[in-house]
Structure 1
């Protein structure tokens, strides 16, 4: 299996992505060994909600939006935090190889989630990412800010010590929400456990994943049941599944991986309204922090979505960049000038920091 720079998750997860791709994804592998895929992509996927609402008020907005769904070649995956970049190539050579492999196979090429001074990676990996972005810019790629990846250093000795780092108002609110733990049964099973051979359990877990997917604002990569079956039955991934039950009934679970001395939070399945009634998001956050602390891990990496609530829970953030190449020169010119519209997480982060500075 290829060795990758930027890998915050086990390489086996990328293999399961290739073998069980999301709906309507066509997985492929570039000549240098990096994972990629073809998919139809809505260019408005990451546009700020307010800007999207304004767009949808335009005459013929639905017809216009259909015109903004393009066949796209992505370099990377939707199951890795960062673009996996094969070791042993220079950044220049990798950029050249990606462009040559694409060869105008689609109107749009996106190298997704290139790290930007990530505190979760080595100095070598961050330097390579910067060199790669520079090589892309020299070849007329558009560089667009990606999403905000939430993480938390495990630098506290207890739950109370972590709570003490928050404001008094947040401490009171979180303690109130955590009272629900008294009614929950919490178990942790490793991936590869024999109990994951139970077809009924696998189906129930997949349905809980679909409930969360349906609630999401972004509907791009719906993973299939085969992916979860393969991952849950793979002991080599060193995954941990946190189950949350009430009176024996599963109301949620959280699938995480131990990798590079960190706990990487990947997938959550919830049953509504029970998950809200029992404040499962808050409970699972504390459970993950406790697991990471008890196992001597350096960081809890909480993923991309819902940055506002993660910030409320004390998360820090690091960003990525997407390197975008548009085949049509005129459209490339237009998108270069509109690229800020697609950077909703960065706009949110900057506004929060501005507010904090003013206060």
Structure 2
């Protein structure tokens, strides 16, 4: 396309600004972007501007955070958080022969399977928080996305990152941006889906339980009989409990069957910072047995759903008191009590979530390597790199569905 034709396209997309093209710039973080403009460009959400800015306050040591802002004549058109880290290419592999082989290769040559990556999105959300001015028409949106991609790729080169990934695009964002990213050479790679329980039509707990299989319903009722041994406290602050809460999170993380490396690291003071930033939309359910903190849930509340962000529990105390099942029931009751239709529970531990009635909402990465030869390899390897292929719970569910 000629320069004049391109200018005519931009003028059509932004008639109030004439031929001025949108321009992208790297800023220190989402906190440096106008909060009102950001919120106007995103649906109402708990993991919005305040949440992202709180996460930027003390990032994990392995990560460097920032953001890209696209503007035109001072007006905000688009933006996204970005992060960089050393990405291990075997991250999707969870055990098995290939995972063991990759571990041996990494021990022998630590840099062989690690590429420096710039992620567009946030390591602390299950969906890419990409902000786009909703007033843009399709041509204007594509122009803003081109500016965002150009700025992100320039930032990647500055950071010495060769791999760029638009992380965890939800269906809405994938529909808005997928064609533009594909035109820019980005390859889709299937990410881990998000589990979401739809409580529409469930007026109370019994209505929810009635939807489950007879075996699951019987199991939950049996575990609920022990609920009298566990007390539940609902809080919007963990003041005085910070160390206990972090210890429970770490205990649960270390016992997980899956490992996603640096993506599991949280900012210093994460739970306190998020609680303060969300001003009541971050709720902590604290579970005690005999006065001892046996577990906690961090729940984020937004207009249509409750997001179960993190669960932490003490071992063996939590499992001995069926804390996972009891907390699930308490969270369902919480959703019903405050009138939220959806209960979203993240990208891991799918077996129980599916058994308890959740459905899976897809996520997609869009990936490009700046080296054309290596990018050709990424394109060929995209089906092998799909995260659901290697998740043990999803693999088991797929085998059951085929049986």
**Structure 2-normalised TM-score?**
0.78
For the structure 1 residues 160 and 65, does the alpha-carbon distance in structure 2 shift closer, same or farther, using more than 3 Å as the test? farther
- Aligned ranges 1:1-359 → 2 under 5 Å: 1=35, 2-3=38-39, 4-5=41-42, 8-11=45-48, 12-32=50-70, 33-50=79-96, 52-53=98-99, 55-56=101-102, 60=105, 62-63=107-108, 66-88=111-133, 90-101=140-151, 102-103=153-154, 104-105=156-157, 106-116=161-171, 126=172, 129-155=174-200, 156-191=202-237, 196-198=238-240, 201-216=241-256, 217-218=258-259, 219-221=261-263, 222-234=265-277, 236=279, 238-345=281-388, 349=394, 352=397, 355-356=400-401, 358=403
DSSP 3-state at the match of 1:233: helix
Q: Quote the Cα distance in structure 2 between the aligned partners of 1:67 and 1:202.
A: 38
Per-residue Cα deviation, 1:282-304 (whole angstroms, up to 9, x for no partner)? 11111110000111111111111
2:69–2:80 CA contact under 8 A, matched in 1:
yes
How far did residue 240 of structure 1 move? Answer: 1.0
Per-residue Cα deviation, 1:132-184 (whole angstroms, up to 9, x for no partner)? 11111111111101111001111212222222212212222222222331200
DSSP 3-state at the match of 1:197: coil
2:234–2:284 CA contact under 8 A, matched in 1:
yes
1:7–1:82 CA contact under 8 A, matched in 2:
no
How far did residue 92 of structure 1 move? Answer: 1.8
2:55–2:273 CA contact under 8 A, matched in 1:
no
DSSP 3-state at the match of 1:5: coil
How far did residue 94 of structure 1 move? Answer: 4.0
Q: Quote the Cα distance in structure 2 between the aligned partners of 1:235 and 1:74.
A: 24
Per-residue Cα deviation, 1:49-91 (whole angstroms, up to 9, x for no partner)? 3353353487x45335641111111111122221111231544
Q: How many residues align?
A: 341
Rg comparison, structure with higher value: 2
- Matched residue, 1:119: none
For the structure 1 residues 98 and 26, does the alpha-carbon distance in structure 2 shift closer, same or farther, using more than 3 Å as the test? same
Per-residue Cα deviation, 1:239-285 (whole angstroms, up to 9, x for no partner)? 11100001111011001011022111111221111111111111111
For the structure 1 residues 226 and 133, does the alpha-carbon distance in structure 2 shift closer, same or farther, using more than 3 Å as the test? same
Q: Quote the Cα distance in structure 1 between the aligned partners of 2:178 and 2:235.
A: 40
Consecutive unaligned residues of structure 2, counting only runs of 5 or more, are 1-34, 71-78
For the structure 1 residues 94 and 48, does the alpha-carbon distance in structure 2 shift closer, same or farther, using more than 3 Å as the test? farther
Consecutive unaligned residues of structure 1, counting only runs of 5 or more, are 117-125
